[in-house]
Amino acid sequence: MPSTTVTGTEQATPAATVLKLRPTSENGTENGAQQEEPYRYAHLVPHFSEDRYPPLVPFDHVDPGFRALRHPNPRSFLDNATDVVEITPYLGTEVHGVQLTSLDSDGRDQLALEVARRGLIVFRDQHDFIDRGPEYYREWGRHFGRLHIHPTSGHPAGYPEIHLVYRDANSSFNFEISDSITSTYWHTDVSYELQPPGLTTFFLLAQPTTGGDTLFTSQVRTLKKLSPPFIEFLKGLKAIHSGMEQANFSKSGKRGATVRRDPVEHVHPLVRRHPVTGEEALYVNRQFTRRIVGLKKEESETILKFLYDHIDKGGDNQARVKWSPGTVVLWDNRVTAHSAIVDYGESKERRHGARITPQAERPIPANPGLDLGDGKPDPRL
């Protein structure tokens, strides 16, 4: 079986060309002339408009998973699967043989419930889904909630609801920390919003030959590993989640240098309850959680550091997705966290991903007596 060698270089503009994978013979000699071909998804590379967006307004979220609860067999959307494998006992399922594009409204409701229960589902061979394009991506996502429009990231021109990640030989339009010993950076997406995302769909349009996997962890399991008295203590706490740092990253000239909506901060419970499954999940993340309300600064920093370390080290709560062409992944942001792995930079290969991000309910505190007010942080803090 011939191996492949990465050849050629990409131009300064991300859309223009794609690295050509050129087969080599068994003894490693090249057997073809270097070629460049147009990038198939050039129409979906990041666009950074100068548009300005008003603040998001609250809305009523009706979770599609509720409808599936009334179904006599809410896993019937998997009936035609050729393979259903649990990636770990508590997090993640990999599915072969089901085309997401074949799911009707009922099937999508079932999917939402199954993702809520398993945290993460990986669908392989979804080329039909990926090739349907941004109009379809929006129609797909709107079934699950109001689509979030990201304040700073790039999107396909004309489709601000589609959040893009993009890196190639010459550019990165991702939120990346360059002066860290690791690219692992656990987070849940845009948790600074009053109504953060729920069921999220993500897929790659281009990927490196190897590397660029994505890590996931179950925040239900990270919570369950803690002692009952400590969990009870956490249930009485709420924290500020902030979009300021992400906005400042763009204001400094990185990632397209665009901030289209003023950054916001909101107060959320440290332990939230999933509206459909009733499961409780730890809800803090290193990227956006900044301060536990009502604690002294040192107390807040110590508890958050402990919880972040716990998330970091909990390999027994985690799953790792290795991407293959046509893979579409869905996760529930309310009960999981994730991290990119940027281990492919030296290959100079393109990694281009698209995310469809429906917002969900305002986080429900596991402790119903926890007063979150209007979600606005006290400005004196």
Kindly list the residues in this chain that would bind Fe ion in the complex (CB under 5 A): 189
Q: How far is the CB of 172 from Fe ion (least distance, A)?
A: 15
Tokens representing 369 are 């007596």
CB-nearer residue toward Fe ion: 36 or 176:
176
336-340, strands of its sheet edge to edge: 318-321, 214-218, 336-340
| Residue 44 near residue 164 (C-beta atoms within 8 A) | yes
CB-nearer residue toward Fe ion: 189 or 349:
189
CB-nearer residue toward Fe ion: 189 or 332:
189
3-state secondary structure of 371: coil
Residue 261 is given by DSSP the state S
Q: How far is the CB of 18 from Fe ion (least distance, A)?
A: 24
The whole-angstrom separation of Cα 113 and Cα 276 is 8
CB-nearer residue toward Fe ion: 15 or 215:
215
* φ/ψ of residue 20, rounded to 5: -95, 120
CB-nearer residue toward Fe ion: 234 or 328:
328
Q: How far is the CB of 342 from Fe ion (least distance, A)?
A: 13
3-state secondary structure of 56: coil
CB-nearer residue toward Fe ion: 350 or 355:
355
CB-nearer residue toward Fe ion: 94 or 189:
189
Beta partners for 155? 47
Contacts of 42 (CB under 8 A, 6+ apart): 15, 16
- Please state, in angstroms and as integers, the Cα–Cα distance from residue 275 to each residue in 63, 66, 200, 335, 360, following that order: 8, 9, 16, 11, 10
Q: How far is the CB of 379 from Fe ion (least distance, A)?
A: 28
Closest Cα to residue 257, out of 245, 267, 265, 249? 249
The whole-angstrom separation of Cα 50 and Cα 33 is 42
3-state secondary structure of 138: helix
Q: How far is the CB of 92 from Fe ion (least distance, A)?
A: 16
Contacts of 259 (CB under 8 A, 6+ apart): 151, 152, 247, 250, 251
CB-nearer residue toward Fe ion: 130 or 340:
340
- Reported as half-sphere exposure (CB side, CA atoms, 13 A), residue 353 has a value of 25
Q: How far is the CB of 187 from Fe ion (least distance, A)?
A: 6
- Please state, in angstroms and as integers, the Cα–Cα distance from residue 297 to each residue in 285, 287, 302, 304, following that order: 17, 18, 9, 11
CB-nearer residue toward Fe ion: 189 or 280:
189
- Reported as half-sphere exposure (CB side, CA atoms, 13 A), residue 376 has a value of 5
Contacts of 247 (CB under 8 A, 6+ apart): 151, 152, 259, 262, 263
Q: How far is the CB of 338 from Fe ion (least distance, A)?
A: 6
Q: How far is the CB of 189 from Fe ion (least distance, A)?
A: 5
CB-nearer residue toward Fe ion: 189 or 361:
189
Q: How far is the CB of 356 from Fe ion (least distance, A)?
A: 13
Write down the number of H helices and E strands in the chain: 8, 20
Q: How far is the CB of 335 from Fe ion (least distance, A)?
A: 15
Place of tokens 């131009």: 11
- Which residue's C-beta sits nearest to Fe ion? 189
